[in-house]
Amino acid sequence: MNLETFGLGGLPLLGQARTRSVCPENPTGKKGQGGMAVPSDDLPFSDAASDLGQGWKVNPFHKVAAGETLTIMDVEGPGVIQHIWLVADPAKGRSHIMRFYWDDEETPSIETPVADFFAVGHNLFAPVNSLAVVVNPKSAFNCYWPMPFRKRCRITFTNEDAEELGLLTYQITYAETEIPANAGYFHAQWRRAVTDRQNPDYTIVDGIEGQGKYAGTFLAWTQLSDGWFGEGEIKFYIDGDAEFPTICGTGTEDYLCGSYGFPEIYSTPYVGNVLDHKGDDGPPKWSLYRWHIMDPVFFEEELRITIQALGWWPNRKYQPLADDIASVAYWYQTEPHAAFPPLPSLAARWPR
């Protein structure tokens, strides 16, 4: 079955795929094994079902202790993840880490704080209404990135907070189906840095090696200077570009498909400015997403992406900025992938 059979255009097309779903009530996703838990002292949320018994919402949630890593999915392929719904605490989003491992790889292809992966920055909830990611009140993270795998998919959730996470729940829907030879694997990488006024380039991602398609960017941008911050150009260095890129944008708000600043909140299928935070509580903060669903950036061998932190002086001159920027880069590529930089510590991830 081709991956094109999934999504709205493929709904009429029948085939041999089998739908499965992993959640606390069916941790293996296997056929006919959902809702089998029996109320017991070992299941922290089963008391509410003690009068009803097996089959009545006995094990719908998890508690995750401080420092614990919980495997939330471990299934054999071939298959493709179609939808992830996950509920955790957005205010502790940088404390929680998701890692995805494809086909028994030793290092993850996805390694990000949970909230940022779902386009929620700064540990501050904001609704998102896009094709690839949907975030609903008051803590429901959803994504629809198709994620094919051939041999195995393993996903972990790590709680690095000092406190127990009192409730984690999720449902990961996938199809058991053959995967085309030319299907790439989904990758996502989180970074953070404070730019230097002498050289205000922020690196969204670099060191990508292999053939692939760049699929999207999330920016959690904290202004450390007054005024307008979004004049910087995004640059895509593709397949050997050195000093100058192949793709050069004309400004941050332009990359976000806006113009003349971000005068209001918007959340659209492919692009959004979703956080209403103008600096009344700390410095101004922005949560910005740009999905390259209709315009993926193709690369054959390597890819590097930067964006300038550039503001605007009242004298109508550009102003290099020292801003605090965090990002998630999303892309598909062949495996193996190049090693990611070490994920910063919780203290280094925590927002201002």
**Tens digit of each residue's pLDDT (9 = 90 or more) over 256-272:** 999 999 999 999 999 99
Check for a shared fold between 3-24+61-176 and 185-338: yes
Mean pLDDT in residue range 106-120: 98
The span from the CA of 317 to the CA of 174, in Å, is 51
| Residue that is written with structure tokens 């929620």 in the block | 120
| Residue that is written with structure tokens 């094990």 in the block | 59
Lowest mean pLDDT among 31-35, 278-282, 342-346: 278-282
pLDDT surpassing 80 at residue 310: yes
Strand, helix or coil for residue 259: coil
For domain 185-338, the CATH class is: mainly beta
Is the backbone of residue 257 left (phi > 0), alpha (psi -120 to 50) or beta?
left
Average pLDDT of the chain to the nearest whole number: 95
| Residue that is written with structure tokens 């209001």 in the block | 264
Give the confidence band of 278 by pLDDT, cuts at 50, 70, 90: confident
Domain 3-24+61-176 has CATH 1.10.3720.10: no
C-alpha of 68 from chain center: 21
**Tens digit of each residue's pLDDT (9 = 90 or more) over 81-112:** 999 999 999 999 999 999 999 999 999 999 99
Q: Which of 131, 80, 77 is nearest to 104 (CA)?
A: 77
**Tens digit of each residue's pLDDT (9 = 90 or more) over 322-352:** 999 999 999 999 999 999 999 999 999 999 9
The span from the CA of 85 to the CA of 258, in Å, is 29
Output the six-digit token pair for 260: 């003349």
pLDDT > 70: what percent of the chain? Answer: 99
Mean pLDDT in residue range 263-287: 93
What residue ranges do the domains of the chain occupy? 3-24+61-176, 185-338
According to the model, what pLDDT value does residue 8 have?
82
Mean pLDDT in residue range 158-178: 97
Percentages helix, strand, coil for the chain (3-state, rounded to 5) are 10, 40, 50
Mean pLDDT in residue range 178-192: 97
Mean pLDDT in residue range 238-254: 97
According to the model, what pLDDT value does residue 170 have?
98
pTM > 0.85:
yes
The span from the CA of 193 to the CA of 349, in Å, is 10
Neighbours of 69 (CB within 10 A): 14
Give the confidence band of 51 by pLDDT, cuts at 50, 70, 90: confident
pLDDT surpassing 60 at residue 319: yes
Give the confidence band of 199 by pLDDT, cuts at 50, 70, 90: very high
Q: Residues near 130 by Cβ (< 8 Å), separated by ≥ 6?
A: 119, 267, 268, 269, 270, 271, 272, 289, 291
According to the model, what pLDDT value does residue 1 have?
54
Question: In what helix (H) or strand (E) does residue 115 lie, and over which residues does it extend?
Answer: helix 114-117
pLDDT surpassing 90 at residue 2: no
The span from the CA of 267 to the CA of 164, in Å, is 32
The span from the CA of 120 to the CA of 286, in Å, is 10
DSSP 294-306: SS-EEESSEEEEE
Give the confidence band of 48 by pLDDT, cuts at 50, 70, 90: confident
